[in-house]
């Protein structure tokens, strides 16, 4: 394989959870009597850490209000399990094939550690990943710290790692880290936004990722 490590974003890349995130964000806004923004506005912040996402949408919000907002968001999001049935087609097969071939797998996500742990359990994907990094353990995308931490932990260089994601935050983070990147077209953002960051390509289904892994 061309890469020793493949790093995946979570929401919108491995798991079809974008609509659920949007509904949960809008629920929290409504509970706090904030303006309930359009689906497109909310979609644009998916991939950021939660605090950064909230501040981007509501610039005047206070620290105390962010805590309340997050609690309402969690109430809505965790009321429905996002599990195996929400995986994009081909995810489990691809992760299994890569793992069996000796490629180490990782996650770099804007989710919180609590949220990712729940998701890893409900989807049954935990055993595939050597390491995960969340927004509350590093800095929010597009800062490259999550990728730097993964590279350090797995003792690999930037040219030995591939990032796969559905947002320009993923592509920007990888570009800043000097890491090759592939976008997916079926997540939060359209392909045109991903292509601005020079990915190797943008795939329409998971089986297409293999073409970028063969030397």
Residues 47 and 98 in one domain: no
**End residue of a domain, out of 39, 56, 77:** 77
Q: Would you state the structure tokens that stand for residue 154, as one six-digit string?
A: 């797995």
Same domain for 137 and 194, yes or no, is yes
Residue 215: how many other CB atoms lie within 10 Å: 5
Supply the CATH number for residue 54's domain.
1.10.150
CATH number assigned to the domain comprising residue 181: 3.40.50.1000
Last residue of a domain, one of 57, 77, 97: 77
Q: How many domains does the chain have?
A: 2
CA dihedral 71, 72, 78, 82 (to 10 degrees): -120
Instruction: Assess whether 69 and 99 both reside in one domain.
Output: no
Which letter does DSSP use for residue 200 in this model?
Answer: S
Strand partners, 46: 48
Asked if residue 158 and residue 127 are part of one domain, the reply reads yes
* Residues paired with 180 in a beta bridge: 162
Q: Clarify whether residues 44 and 9 are in a common domain.
A: no
Going by DSSP bridges, is the β-strand pair 104-108/129-133 parallel, antiparallel, or unpaired?
parallel
Q: Are residues 116 and 140 in the same domain?
A: yes
pTM of this prediction exceeds 0.75:
yes
- Whether residue 152 sits in one domain with residue 55: no
Burial string for 130-158 (b: 16+ CB within 10 Å, else e) reads eebbbbbebbbbbbbbbbbbbbeebebee
**What pLDDT score does 71 carry?**
97
Cis amide bond preceding 142, omega within 30 = yes
60-116 pLDDT, tens digit each: 999 999 999 999 999 999 998 889 999 999 999 999 999 999 999 999 999 999 999
> Domain span at residue 192?
5-16+83-212
Final residue belonging to a domain, choices 28, 58, 77: 77
Give yes or no: residues 95 and 117 share one domain: yes
- What is the residue-level pLDDT of the chain in tens, covering all 215 positions? 899 999 999 999 999 999 999 999 999 999 999 999 999 999 999 999 999 999 999 999 999 999 999 999 999 999 988 899 999 999 999 999 999 999 999 999 999 999 999 999 999 999 999 999 999 999 999 999 999 999 999 999 999 999 999 999 999 999 999 999 999 999 999 999 999 999 999 999 999 999 999 87
Residues 50 and 151 in one domain: no
| Inter-CA distances, 75 with 19, 30, 61, 69, Å | 16, 13, 19, 10
- Measured at the alpha carbon of residue 130, what is the angle toward residues 127 and 132, in degrees to the nearest 5? 100
């Amino acid at each position: 394989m061309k890469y020793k490590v493949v790093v995946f974003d979570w929401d919108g890349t491995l798991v079809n959870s974008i609509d659920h995130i949007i509904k949960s964000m809008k629920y929290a806004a409504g509970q706090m009597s904030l303006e309930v923004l359009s689906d497109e506005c909310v979609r644009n912040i998916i991939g950021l850490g939660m605090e950064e996402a909230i501040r981007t949408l509501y610039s005047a919000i206070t620290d105390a209000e962010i805590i309340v907002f997050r609690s309402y968001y969690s109430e809505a999001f965790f009321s429905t399990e996002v599990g195996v049935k929400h995986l994009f087609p081909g995810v489990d097969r691809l992760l299994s094939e890569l793992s069996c071939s000796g490629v180490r797998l990782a996650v770099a996500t804007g989710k919180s550690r609590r949220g990712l742990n729940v998701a890893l359990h409900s989807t049954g994907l935990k055993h595939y990943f050597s390491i995960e990094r969340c927004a509350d353990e590093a800095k929010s995308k597009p800062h490259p710290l999550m990728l730097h931490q993964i590279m350090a932990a797995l003792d690999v260089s930037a040219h030995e790692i591939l990032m796969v994601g559905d947002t320009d935050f993923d592509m920007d983070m990888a570009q800043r880290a000097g890491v090759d990147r592939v976008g997916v077209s079926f997540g939060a953002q359209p392909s045109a936004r991903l292509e601005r960051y020079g990915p190797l390509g943008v795939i329409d289904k998971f089986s297409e990722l293999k073409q970028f892994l063969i030397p």
